[in-house]
Structure formats: structure tokens, C-alpha cells
Chain A
Amino acid sequence: EVQLVESGGGLVKPGGSLRLSCAASGISLSDAWMSWVRQAQGRGLEWVGRIRGKTDGGTTDYAAPVNGRFTISRDDSKDTVYLQMNSLKTEDTGVYYCSWELRSALDVWGQGTMVTVSS
């Protein structure tokens, strides 16, 4: 069974940085396509970005609101994906989920980690 566990959320001031982690079990992340999705309190889901598997180049894509501020990376030795968030804004506040992409869908999700950007 594939399981994803996010960590690293917390309270950060506007302009600050935070790194989220997503640890996987049950799959080898090196060839997995992984996405991050966020959700503001009481709001809908927003796709944040993805990293492709190693055999597909390991390249990344980002949604416009986070492009240039967020970076997704991966440590295959730890089966962990990261979301580095810089220049954080209050509107980045929300629950952040990592998800395994399979068959062009978000097949397995973690439980989420809360990020609060506030002064």
C-alpha cells in the first residue's frame, strides 16, 4: 500500500521561507510523478506544482501564483519529495497535500500539513 506523509508546516511571517517534506512508503519515488496541492481554509483545491519521475527527466511545473517562489525537489535515497517555499505571502496560507500522480490523476494523497503565513 502506498502511503504519503507530509511534514514541515508551521507559522511563518510574510516574506519568510518554509520547506515541506513528503515521505513515501510502498513506492520508489525516483520514477514517480509527484504533485503538491493546497487548500485555503474553507476554499477549494489548488494545484501547486509537480516533479516528474527520473526517467521522464525529473523536470518541474508550477502554477502561476507560485512560479518563481516555490521549488519542488526530490531525494530518491530518502524517498522524499520537498516543496521549498520562499517569499511567502498571506495568501499562501492553507493545508498543503502531496499526491502521487498515476494515469494522469492524483491517485494517492497524504494527510496534509498546515502552513500559516501571518505577521
Chain B
Amino acid sequence: DIQMTQSPSSLSASVGDRVTITCRASQSISSSLNWYQQKPGKAPKLLIYAASTLQSGVPSRFSGSGSGTDFTLTISSLQPEDFATYYCQQSYSTLTWTFGQGTKVEIK
């Protein structure tokens, strides 16, 4: 199976900060990488698919980049509603998909 490793596992940031989360795949996955946001007690929400395509309705302060094994989710100016846990997920393997372990973004 393809392993996905996110860093950091958690971070503290202030409103207005630029935040970057990294996801690394154990092998090349081309651009087959998605990002999700999950708030406590809620289902995850798709933010970005195919590494860099913003899902409809998602604010433009979210952006994704990368290909191959290294990917990045950036929040350009952190808003109060962005405090949540973020997960990357590979869709390169046609048989099984895997998630990263998550990055919790907390208020500083």
C-alpha cells in the first residue's frame, strides 16, 4: 500500500497567519492527491482534488500544490472557521486509497 505522511501533526497559528501543511507519499502518485477538512463531530469536507484544483465553494485562500511524492496545502490567511484537522489522501492506487494521519490546526 502507498503510505501517506503528513507534517506537522499539529500546529498553532493565529488568525491572519499563512499556514502550510505538507504531505509526502511513499512512492510517486503523480497528481492523485486530495485534501479534506474535518471539524469536530462533523464529516470531512473535500477542499482540493487532483493536487491543486479547488473544490467548488471552497474559499480561494486555500491552495494546493505538488506532484510526484511531495504535496502542500496552503491557507494564505487563516480565518477563525479554518481551525480544524486536515487530511491528505492518495487516489493513485486504483484498488485502495490511503489517508495521511491528519494535521490539527489550533488557535495560538
Contacts and interface: CB of A to CB of B under 8 A. Distances in A.
Contacts of A106: 34, 36, 44, 46, 89
Interface string B20-52: 000000000000101010100001111001100
Chain A interface, DSSP helix/strand/loop, else mixed: strand
Interface in A33-84: 35, 37, 44-47, 61-64
Interface residues of B, number: 23
Contact of B99 (A44, A103, A105, A109): A44
B5 to A, nearest CB: 12
Contact of A44 (B91, B96, B101): B101
Nearest to B38: A45
A62 B98 CA distance: 11
Contacts of A97: 43-44
Interface residues of A, number: 20
Interface string B69-101: 000000000000000000101010001111111
Contacts of B55: 105, 107
B45 A104 contact: no
A46 B89 CA distance: 10
Contact of B91 (A37, A45, A64, A104): A104
A111 interface: yes
Given A103-B49, A104-B49, A61 B43 contact: no
Contacts of B100: 44
B43 A110 contact: yes
Contacts of A64: 1, 96
Interface of B: 1, 32, 34, 36, 38, 43-46, 49-50, 55, 87, 89, 91, 95-102
